[in-house]
Chains A and B, each alone.
Chain A
Amino acid sequence: MKPERARELFSDYAEDALTPALRLALDQHFEADPASRAEYEQFARVYALLEAHEPGMVEAPLGFRAKVLEKVAAEQARREAAPAHRAAQTLTGWWRSLGSRRAGAGLIAALAACGILGVVLNSTVGHDQPARIGPVPDFTPAVPTTITGVTYTQDPAGSHYNFQIHLPPSVPSATVNADILTTNDQITDADERAHATPALTPAQTLTNDESMEIPVTLPQPAAAGTTLNMWVQWTPGDGGPTGAQVVFTPAQPTPATPKPLPAATDFFDALQYIAAEYGVTVIADAGSAPTQTITPPKGASVEEQLQSVAGAVGYSVVKLPSGAYEVTQPRQQ
């Protein structure tokens, strides 16, 4: 056994959490390598010190709770004032209605200021039937895809993305909110989303004979391994079910050898990782937050990886005409 491997096992050895075979292997290693045994003994001493370490508890400072409640009260007041403030923030010129609506320079400037990075390579958007990948449960999505794809171009002025959004025929009209997210926590956590920067506010009303385009320009090429993430929620005007999707757009096209997904990863983290590593756009339902830990197969294709991740939470995968992959939650008709 190499010393580095032995060190990786020190904690489990101290906690008697190794399998009998690994424990035996480490015992044999210690017999053969007294220096490694001595190193472990130092480690075990530090472990014992940490276990015995009981730093005294300090009291929260006087007035702590009063200060918290003061901030909460201020937050409440801010919320109550928010509708009027938002109404005053009408972004005239933000959208352009020529069969499509377009987010404008405000977002571009805000994103440039925030330095959010990401690059997407994809084909044009259409509304043809998506192609299902692999075996799919017998269901029809009640609220089909709303994010239909992303295109990407680059010129001296920066990296340009274009997010396409189109309500399905079953949703005559809906109010659409879209936010750029910087962490996966923001996908399902309303408070986290509230801090998304920048948000496309105010919300826009869209009918299903219109398409919405949200251009985003970044001042610099994106770094490998990053994604630009957009969350879109729509609330149908007829009171139908609210839907939400998130799109992970990769920084760069498929690398020669994508790194395998880490052994155990959360659902949205796994999708983001696949998008970044394989250079594909991944769109996922974001109305719920699957908590299963994902362990996809190593060396699999991007479609097999996505199927594995989707299958672990009971979702399925479709490939959209735009080339993006959609990971959808089954919805019974």
Chain B
Amino acid sequence: MDEVASGRRVRAKPAVSAEEKAIIERCKRGDLAAFNELVKRYEKQVYNFAYRLTGNYDDANDIAQDAFLRVYNAIGSFRGDASFSTWLFRITTNVFLDERKRARAHPHASLDEYVELDESSVSRQIEDTSPTPDLVTEGKERAQILQDAIQSLPEYQRAVVTLYHTQQKSYEEIAEIMDQPIGTVKSRLNRARLALKEKLSPLRELFEF
């Protein structure tokens, strides 16, 4: 559960129930019924996370499926040092990043493509197709613009923003998921928020800056 104190949100690490531990142990023994149960528990979370990372349903479907396949292959090595949920998000993030690396190896021009995909990447200078303020008035559309702005961030920034602000993960969990020190996670998040501020500043009136 979250606790908001002095503007800082404290997020508790997810606990692994005894029931879930038993399911994981059965999965380690190759029990497909147990694996089916595990997928059932997490498919919505993983699919939504993949969707927020990729921005489209087809890619989210591929990434979520591959993530679960990778979980199946690796579950024997899951020691329980991290929570299963954290481990699952780490795998999903890695599948997403691997997929983008592969896509980079076989590039094809796209309006929303990035020249490089690490945190220092710079978007191609193509005509700005963002909606103008007079075209967007409803809160729903505002949320979509914010989501589009998140989508336009470099991959690592997009991942940390999604994990923190959409998936409600703590800095510690994100550090485990991204396999990065907490300091790196926090500085990437800060840079991502600064980048979002820049992206949204032309729409200042809409967002009541």
Contact = CB atoms under 8 A, between A and B. Distances in A.
A305 B110 CA distance: 44
Interface in B174-209: 179, 181-184, 186-187, 189-190, 193-194, 196-197, 200-201, 204, 207-209
A72 B32 CA distance: 9
A73 interface: yes
Contacts of B81: 291
Interface string A260-280: 001111100000000000000
A192 interface: yes
Nearest to B166: A55
Interface in A272-305: 291, 293
Contacts, number: 134
Interface residues of A, dominant DSSP: helix
A115 B207 CA distance: 47
B64 A189 contact: no
B68 A58 contact: no
A68 interface: yes
A227 to B, nearest CB: 17
Nearest to A184: B179
A85 interface: no
A42 B201 contact: yes
A191 B74 contact: yes
Contacts of A77: none
A16 B8 contact: yes
A81 interface: no
Which of under 10, 10 to 19, 20 to 34, or 35 or more describes the interface residues of A?
35 or more
Interface residues of B, number: 56
A55 B69 contact: no
B72 A72 contact: yes
Nearest to A189: B77
Interface string B59-86: 0010011001110111011000100000
Given A189-B74, A265-B181, A64 B61 contact: yes
- Listed from nearest, the 7 A-B pairs whose CB atoms lie closest are A191-B74, A264-B181, A15-B8, A60-B47, A16-B6, A11-B190, A50-B165
Interface of B: 6-9, 30, 32, 35-36, 39-40, 43-44, 46-48, 51-52, 57, 61, 64-65, 68-70, 72-74, 76-77, 81, 94, 143, 146-147, 161, 165-166, 179, 181-184, 186-187, 189-190, 193-194, 196-197, 200-201, 204, 207-209
Given A69-B35, A191-B77, 16 more contacts: A11-B186, A11-B189, A11-B193, A43-B194, A45-B207, A46-B197, A50-B193, A60-B44, A61-B61, A64-B43, A68-B65, A72-B72, A73-B32, A185-B94, A189-B77, A191-B70
29 contacts: A8-B190, A10-B194, A11-B190, A12-B190, A14-B7, A15-B9, A16-B7, A42-B197, A42-B209, A43-B194, A51-B9, A53-B165, A58-B48, A60-B43, A60-B46, A60-B64, A64-B47, A64-B64, A65-B39, A65-B40, A71-B65, A72-B32, A72-B68, A75-B73, A185-B94, A190-B77, A191-B74, A262-B181, A263-B183
